[in-house]
Structure 1
């Protein structure tokens, strides 16, 4: 249903540093290279893992952080980190540091993460089509209608659907 698809596209409020950080923990997962053999694929990062990523880069950045402090930031107990911590957290998650301080950057990043998540969960061609249609100003309703038409045409081409030439040749 169109409303269901559109509801999935709604982003949570990203109005605090804690909400933005928690969103990253929720959406970004460790890469296969970061997982051990016993780890479950698709699991969330831990505070310790993010702290370790930041601390491993300390020789170049000069920034260290504790897992406990990351937990405080996530809960909103600490809410005014140093700029160097914001940059280090952004680097650890692979996002632009503007994500934490600029509403427009946060929305862009959240939109990109939503699109990446869709790419993982569904056919890449369908996501690409949806993005092209959205970029051209089509509504979610129009986009879903076009997706349904494409699916129907695929079914007809595969011989799984029946469509008379009269119903196809209306144009």
Structure 2
């Protein structure tokens, strides 16, 4: 859900998938790469320009086959594009994958793995307080 409570559009959700893929691989896929991968996977014919139109919001009513193909390419359920609960779950999974791609974050998680529940709660509280301070000072964006 957006900050104003509105559900993200198809274009916004598709844009998010491109961004997450870019965060994980170091570069967003091109529209041609997506179209080629869909075709190579036996999916429906879809042009790079049509994918761009969907992502930019110029087109907003794709066929179910196109949604399924895009969902398959990005590794999400087709419901991601229109079901808020599915989208929230996918977004949480993506946020975790992006965070765990950072070697420092992964190191913190691994260092905390064998701690007692009490110590984990303390580490979590320190991290939450640090995040709140950085959000307050503008060093990081608020992500909730």
| TM-score, normalised by the number of residues in structure 2 | 0.69
Residue 116 of structure 1 pairs with residue 91 of structure 2: no
Distance 1:97 1:119 in 2: 25
**Residue deviations 1:58-98 (CA, integer Å, cap 9, x gap):** 2xx4x111000000000101001000000000001111111
Instruction: Return closer, same or farther for 1:30/1:49 CA change in 2, 3 Å cut-off.
Output: farther
Offset, 1:15: 1.2
Let me know the Cα RMSD of the aligned residues. 3.2
Q: 1:65 aligns with which of 43, 46, 49?
A: 46
1:97-116 alignment to 2 at 5 Å?
A: 97-116=78-97
> What SS does the aligned partner of 1:28 have?
helix
Instruction: Return closer, same or farther for 1:143/1:49 CA change in 2, 3 Å cut-off.
Output: same
Structure 1 residue runs without a partner (length 5+): 1-9, 32-40, 131-137, 149-171
Offset, 1:147: 8.1
- Given that 2:23 and 2:98 are in contact with CA atoms closer than 8 Å, whether structure 1 keeps it comes out as no
Distance 1:147 1:125 in 2: 17
Distance 1:46 1:117 in 2: 20
Number of residue-to-residue matches in the alignment = 118
Instruction: Return closer, same or farther for 1:14/1:112 CA change in 2, 3 Å cut-off.
Output: farther
Q: 1:43 aligns with which of 3, 10, 27?
A: 27
Structure 2 residue runs without a partner (length 5+): 114-120, 130-144
The answer for the alignment partner of 1:23 in structure 2 is 16
Instruction: Return closer, same or farther for 1:11/1:26 CA change in 2, 3 Å cut-off.
Output: farther
Distance 2:128 2:49 in 1: 46
> What SS does the aligned partner of 1:64 have?
coil
| TM-score, normalised by the number of residues in structure 1 | 0.59
**Residue deviations 1:136-162 (CA, integer Å, cap 9, x gap):** xx7xx98242789xxxxxxxxxxxxxx
The answer for the alignment partner of 1:157 in structure 2 is none
> What SS does the aligned partner of 2:124 have?
helix
Distance 2:73 2:52 in 1: 15
**Higher gyration radius (CA):** 1
